[in-house]
């Protein structure tokens, strides 16, 4: 049996990665190509809830590093178990901005489980991300300026290079600029097809 394609989609909070993923999946479904999308944070959150560690998903990045790494490990092995031969999109983060500094979203033990074919970095202008965060009342976003968001996006590219070295995956940068969502969706479709 042919192995499924594993695609990891990352981007700083508020860049719109979930929107781009949903748009791309819709287009591919019309072509008869099916992907299953899983949200890494949701797998972590389900475990965190049963352990009474947090009451909403935006509290997880404030937990101690060891708690976050444990949740991350459990999520990775659960996702690996369900994705053996399906095409799968994993909605997650290249790095997480925590009070103690950037935490790798895909450390070696997570990559070993997931072994992605490609890691997508969804990016846009930091000012646009700031505006999107301010208008999204459904989430508890960090108070952060555009300079800081720019630094986070830079770090995400840097650490993605390490992920490529470890796995041999490709790194695809997808710009999700204002009014150009269709463009971002088409770029993602091209790596998923």
The contact set with ligand AMP (CB under 6 A) reads 13, 40-41, 44, 57, 60-61, 68, 72, 91-93, 96, 105
189 binds, among Mg ion, ligand AMP, none (CB under 5 to 8 A by kind): none
Shortest Å, Cβ 5 to ligand AMP: 19
* Residue with the two structure tokens 């042919």: 2
Instruction: State which residue, 2 or 66, has the beta carbon closest to ligand AMP.
Output: 66
Element (H, E) at 103: strand 101-104
> Nearest to ligand AMP by Cβ — which residue?
41
Bridge partners of 123? Answer: 175
Nearer to ligand AMP, 91 or 144 (CB): 91
| Alpha carbon distance 46, 26 (integer Å) | 26
Q: 6: burial class by Cβ within 10 Å (0-12, 13-18, 19+)?
A: buried
SS3 of residue 67 by DSSP? helix
Q: Binding string to Mg ion for residues 9 to 48, with x set by CB under 5 A, is what?
A: ---------x------------------------------
183, interface contact from ligand AMP, Mg ion, none, CB < 5-8 Å by kind: none
Q: Rounded distance, CA 61 to CA 79, Å?
A: 20
> Applying CB under 5 A, what is the total number of residues that bind Mg ion?
1
CA angle in degrees (0–180, nearest 5) for 39-131-16? 25
Q: Report the SS3 class of residue 151.
A: helix
The neighbouring-strand residues paired with 120 are 9, 172
**37 vs 162 by CB, closer to Mg ion:** 37
The item of Mg ion, ligand AMP, none sharing an interface with residue 93, based on CB under 5 to 8 Å by kind, is ligand AMP
Shortest distance, position 91 Cβ to Mg ion, whole Å: 6
Residue 123: name its binding partner from Mg ion, ligand AMP, none (Cβ under 5 to 8 Å by kind).
none
Q: How far is the CB of 15 from Mg ion (least distance, A)?
A: 9
Give backbone dihedrals phi and psi of 69, rounded to 5 degrees, phi first: -65, -35
- Residues that bind Mg ion in the complex, under the rule CB under 5 A: 18
């Amino acid at each position: 049996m042919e192995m499924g394609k594993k695609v990891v989609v990352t981007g700083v909070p508020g860049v719109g990665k979930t929107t781009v993923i949903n748009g791309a999946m819709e287009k591919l479904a019309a072509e008869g190509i099916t992907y299953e999308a899983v949200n890494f944070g949701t797998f972590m959150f389900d475990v965190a809830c049963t352990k009474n560690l947090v009451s909403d998903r935006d509290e997880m990045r404030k937990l101690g590093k060891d708690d976050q790494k444990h949740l991350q490990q459990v999520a990775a092995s659960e996702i690996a178990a369900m994705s053996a031969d399906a095409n799968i999109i994993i909605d997650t983060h290249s790095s997480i901005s925590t009070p103690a500094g950037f935490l790798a979203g895909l450390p070696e033990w997570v990559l070993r489980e997931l072994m992605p074919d490609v890691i997508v970095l969804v990016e846009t202008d930091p000012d646009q991300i700031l505006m999107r965060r301010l208008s999204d009342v459904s989430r508890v976003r960090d108070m952060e300026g555009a300079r800081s968001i720019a630094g986070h996006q830079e770090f995400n590219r840097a650490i993605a290079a390490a992920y490529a070295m470890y796995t041999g995956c490709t790194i695809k940068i997808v710009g999700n600029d204002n009014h150009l969502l269709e463009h971002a969706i088409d770029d993602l479709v091209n790596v998923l097809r």
